[in-house]
Amino acid sequence: MAGLRELKKEQTRRRISEVALRLFDERGYDAVTVNEIAEAAGVAKVTLFTYFPTKECLVTDGVADDMAAVVAGREEGTSPIEALRAHYLSMAAQGPGAVDVGALLARVRVISSNPALMGALHGVHMSQRYELAAALEDVYDAPAARLAAGQITAAVTTLQEGFFQRLSTGVPLEEAGRGLVAEVELAFDVLEHGLSSIKGEKS
């Protein structure tokens, strides 16, 4: 019974998120009210806020990947970089059925067209970086952990931007995924070994 309740909660959460994203993409984030989203999703406003505490959360929820959890949960003898490399390679290698390209690009459009949401996304990324730095302190001292977290989050953000750009120009998901796999390997080579690891530098 508990499993069924959790399933229904997840279905409700997904429905609210999908409805909100569709309305934001069609009409613009500022033009859509929370009341309209709740009505269109068939839930009470109080129910909507149970799942998404703020209107911004309807867009930014789930955007950040929990890199700190990947680092904290890595197997013994595995370095943070090795664990993160494996995590992002696994994500990049997912088949076409694992990603809703339309919803992904709609989210990118909605966020990129609204300064407030861009600011909220920046805040999400800052929190992600701080949490990653804290997780890295079991390997590095605090200053090194902060620097490492900054470099890792910047690399991951750059990978995501390139992937979104390819999809937005019509590159098929499978092809974009192959390109992402290669770029993940390159990014983590640089993180692990420095710029000297890059092959084929221009003269």
148 vs 94: CA distance, rounded Å:
27
| Angle between helical axes of 142-168 and 80-92 (0-180°, round to 10) | 10
pTM of the predicted model as reported, rounded to 2 decimal places: 0.84
- Contact between residue 125 and residue 65 where contact means Cβ atoms under 8 Å apart: no
**pLDDT value of residue 3:** 80
Q: pLDDT tens digits for the chain (203 residues)?
A: 668 888 899 999 999 999 999 999 999 999 999 999 999 999 999 999 999 999 999 998 878 789 999 999 999 999 999 999 999 999 888 766 667 888 889 999 999 999 999 999 999 899 999 999 999 999 999 999 999 999 999 999 999 999 999 998 999 888 998 999 999 999 999 999 988 877 755 55
14 vs 198: CA distance, rounded Å:
41
Q: 10 Å Cβ neighbour count for 165?
A: 12
Q: What angle do CA 193, 162, 73 make, to 5 degrees?
A: 55
- Structural domain boundaries in the chain: 2-58, 62-194
Q: Which helix H or strand E contains 187, and what residues bound it? A: helix 173-193
CATH homologous superfamily of 2-58 = Homeodomain-like (1.10.10.60)
- Contact between residue 133 and residue 72 where contact means Cβ atoms under 8 Å apart: no
